[in-house]
């Protein structure tokens, strides 16, 4: 997985630890997705509220702070007392004055950043946090036509068995040949959920009409995953608490 689950950093030392992870992280105590990046040219801080992940009719808001120096995003954290809440409040105030460019400018004690506000549909927002996964209720019957949400509910509640790759093609034919196109490789359900929600319209589903029937989970024509659908959940596979 390309993320971690942590407690939200609130001190200088905790932010150093987070930055050194070089990974995005979900915060279990505040239900946010945090990301921090910097190089020798610029820096960026992303804060995404995932408290409405998987919920229909709800939105998840993300603020992106882009600094034109390597320390700008870090310095704004320091100026705001290492508080994500304070950073979000600063962003909320700034974006009230968005211009045609789609971003607002923050200038605070010689620190200059551009702030972008992005909105995502909650129903298509990924989160591994148990409080969010509770929105995905177990399937009570087999759908007439499988949709993304049906598959997410099935995976979250352990209503499957034998989740494996049928085939996976890449642009590297030698690798595909050496790995036998990953045939039979086990699939992590959480990773699959994340991949599906990155491009939900690219996935299509086939079969899975009754208990024990095989469901095909297809990504375009390059990857096919299969599993057996079991409405009686397998407790050891449940992702939701």
Encode pLDDT of 118-139 as tens digits. Answer: 999 999 999 999 999 999 999 9
Is the CB of residue 211 less than 8 Å from the CB of residue 161? no
Which residues face 204 on adjacent strands?
218
Q: Between residues 185 and 23, which one has the greater pLDDT?
A: 23
Is the CB of residue 82 less than 8 Å from the CB of residue 60? no
Is the CB of residue 90 less than 8 Å from the CB of residue 79? no
Compute φ and ψ for 62, nearest 5 degrees. Answer: -120, 135
Average pLDDT, the chain: 91
Q: Give the residue from 21, 51, 56 showing the smallest Cα distance to 36.
A: 21
Q: Between residues 208 and 178, which one has the greater pLDDT?
A: 208
The Cα–Cα gap between 100 and 93 comes to: 17
Q: What percent of the chain has pLDDT over 90?
A: 77
What was the pLDDT predicted at 237?
A: 65
The Cα–Cα gap between 152 and 203 comes to: 12
Token couple for 88: 């979000």
The Cα–Cα gap between 64 and 45 comes to: 6
Q: What is the mean pLDDT of residues 165-192?
A: 81
* Residues 24-40 pLDDT 10s: 999 999 999 999 999 88
């Amino acid at each position: 997985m390309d993320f971690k689950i942590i407690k939200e950093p609130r001190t200088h030392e905790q932010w150093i630890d987070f930055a050194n992870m070089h990974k995005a992280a979900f915060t279990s105590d505040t239900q946010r997705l945090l990301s921090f990046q910097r190089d020798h040219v610029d820096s960026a801080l992303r804060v995404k509220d995932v408290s409405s992940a998987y919920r229909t009719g709800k939105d998840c808001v993300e603020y992106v702070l882009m600094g034109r120096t390597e320390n700008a995003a870090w310095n704004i954290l320091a100026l705001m007392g290492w508080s994500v809440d304070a950073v979000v409040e600063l962003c909320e105030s700034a974006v009230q004055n968005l211009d045609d460019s789609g971003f607002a400018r923050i200038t605070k004690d010689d620190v200059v950043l551009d702030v972008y506000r992005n909105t995502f549909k909650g129903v298509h927002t990924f989160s591994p946090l148990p409080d969010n996964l509770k929105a995905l209720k177990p399937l009570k019957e087999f759908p007439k036509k499988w949709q993304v949400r049906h598959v997410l509910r099935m995976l979250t509640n352990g209503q499957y068995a034998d989740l494996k790759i049928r085939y996976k093609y890449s642009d590297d034919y030698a690798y595909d040949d050496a790995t036998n196109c990953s045939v039979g490789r086990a699939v992590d359900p959480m990773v699959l959920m994340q991949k599906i929600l990155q491009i939900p319209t690219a996935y299509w589903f086939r079969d899975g009409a009754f208990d024990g029937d095989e469901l095909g989970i297809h990504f375009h024509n390059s990857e096919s995953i299969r599993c057996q659908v079991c409405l009686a959940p397998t407790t050891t596979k449940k992702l939701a608490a």
